[in-house]
């Protein structure tokens, strides 16, 4: 456990010092959310209706733009291969590094989401479900991203390829995330079942993505 806390601390420190910390993620989030009303016009009813979806897409993009950080730099300077010689399994290394990524990206965005919701004229009643859904769903984004990052490990400027690989996998998270965040309007209340499915997605990615990412990293070195 000592080994893994050292790793998480190091990744947090590096993210903070290299400008990949919470501030940058929130800044990016703010820019996307601000651009949106400029693009689709100041119709507050429309903005209110799409606010949850818009926040989720902004969240998804900010995670996507930062996931290559999880492994790429460590791969380039030889740290990753040295980690393979450590006493902890590669799967746990992936979990720790992804957790550190979530702490610097997913978590701060989920916590600040209501503030940005106000920019999009979100209904007060929808704020709680939105925070809950982003909080529960964002780990899945980080873990799927880590998988993509592991697969595109040796690819220089692999950002586009990475997006191509992961964005389809983000679809279920987005669908259930948005429907869990939408306050029950007309029709049956589907936010609770959606939240449960979203939790299941997060838990499944927590277990499966590290296994797959570790396999991808190992096969990269072979």
Partner 1 sequence: MKLSAENLTCVRGGRTVFENVSFELADGEALLLTGPNGAGKSSLLRLIAGLVEPAAGNLRLTGHDSDLSIGQASHFIGHANALKGAMSVQENLDFWARFLGGAEGSQSLEPFALEAHATIPAALLSAGQSRRLALLRLTAVPRRLWLLDEPTVGLDTASLATLVGLMERHLADGGLIIAASHVDVGIAFKHRLELAGRRAAS
Residue 108's contacts (CB-CB under 8 Å, 6 or more residues apart) are 22, 25, 26
Rounded least distance, CB 9 to partner 1, Å = 8
- Looking at the Cβ atoms of 14 and 203, the one nearer to partner 1 is 14
Rounded least distance, CB 102 to partner 1, Å = 20
- Looking at the Cβ atoms of 73 and 132, the one nearer to partner 1 is 73
Count CB-CB contacts under 10 A for residue 10: 15
* Token pair listed for 86: 């450590």
- Looking at the Cβ atoms of 10 and 49, the one nearer to partner 1 is 10
Residues at the interface with partner 1 (CB under 8 A): 2-3, 6-7, 10, 13-14, 17-18, 76-79, 81-87, 221-222
Rounded least distance, CB 15 to partner 1, Å = 10
Rounded least distance, CB 154 to partner 1, Å = 12
The answer to whether 86 and 158 have CB atoms below 8 angstroms apart is: no
- Looking at the Cβ atoms of 82 and 196, the one nearer to partner 1 is 82
């Amino acid at each position: 456990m000592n080994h893994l806390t050292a790793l998480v601390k190091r990744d947090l420190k590096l993210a903070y010092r290299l400008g990949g910390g919470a501030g940058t993620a929130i800044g990016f989030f703010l820019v996307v959310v601000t651009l949106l009303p400029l693009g689709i016009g100041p119709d507050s009813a429309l903005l209110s209706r799409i606010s949850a979806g818009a926040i989720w897409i902004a969240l998804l993009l900010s995670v996507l733009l930062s996931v290559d950080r999880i492994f790429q730099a460590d791969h380039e300077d030889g740290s990753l291969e040295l980690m393979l010689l450590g006493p902890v399994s590669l799967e746990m290394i992936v979990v720790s590094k992804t957790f550190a990524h979530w702490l610097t990206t997913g978590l701060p965005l989920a916590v600040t989401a209501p503030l940005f919701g106000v920019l999009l004229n979100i209904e007060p009643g929808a704020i709680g479900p939105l925070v809950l859904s982003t909080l529960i769903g964002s780990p899945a984004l980080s873990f799927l991203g880590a998988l993509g990052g592991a697969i595109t490990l040796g690819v220089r400027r692999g950002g586009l390829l990475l997006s191509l690989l992961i964005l389809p996998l983000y679809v279920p998270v987005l669908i259930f995330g948005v429907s869990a965040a939408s306050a029950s309007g007309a029709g049956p209340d589907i936010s609770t079942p959606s939240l449960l499915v979203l939790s299941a997605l997060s838990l499944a990615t927590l277990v499966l993505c590290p296994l797959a990412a570790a396999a991808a990293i190992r096969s990269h070195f072979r």
